[in-house]
Structure 1
Amino acid sequence: MPRASIAGLRNVVVHEYSRVEPRLVLDIVEYQLADLAAALRT
């Protein structure tokens, strides 16, 4: 997940929360955060 995508998601969640799709956020938490954490550790 590129840095710009992370910032973009944050902006939508904070400023345009009516557009947030809970299924998408759940997918990110369940499947993509582990990849980000691993990348940050290296």
Structure 2
Amino acid sequence: MENILPSNDLIDASIKAWNSEDIYEKPEEVLVSVFSNKKKQ
């Protein structure tokens, strides 16, 4: 099975769709929090 990478246009369209939906606001906040507040060991 061949891996096919998405085009820049598809990525841009997906980001635009994500940013235009209010329902993604809270999940995005959670993701940012999880990945920016890693516990230092």
TM-score range (shorter-chain normalised) is 0.3 to 0.5
TM-score normalized by the length of structure 1: 0.34
- Greater helix content: 1
TM-score normalized by the length of structure 2: 0.34
Larger radius of gyration: 2
- Bigger RCO (CA 8 Å, 6+ sep): 1
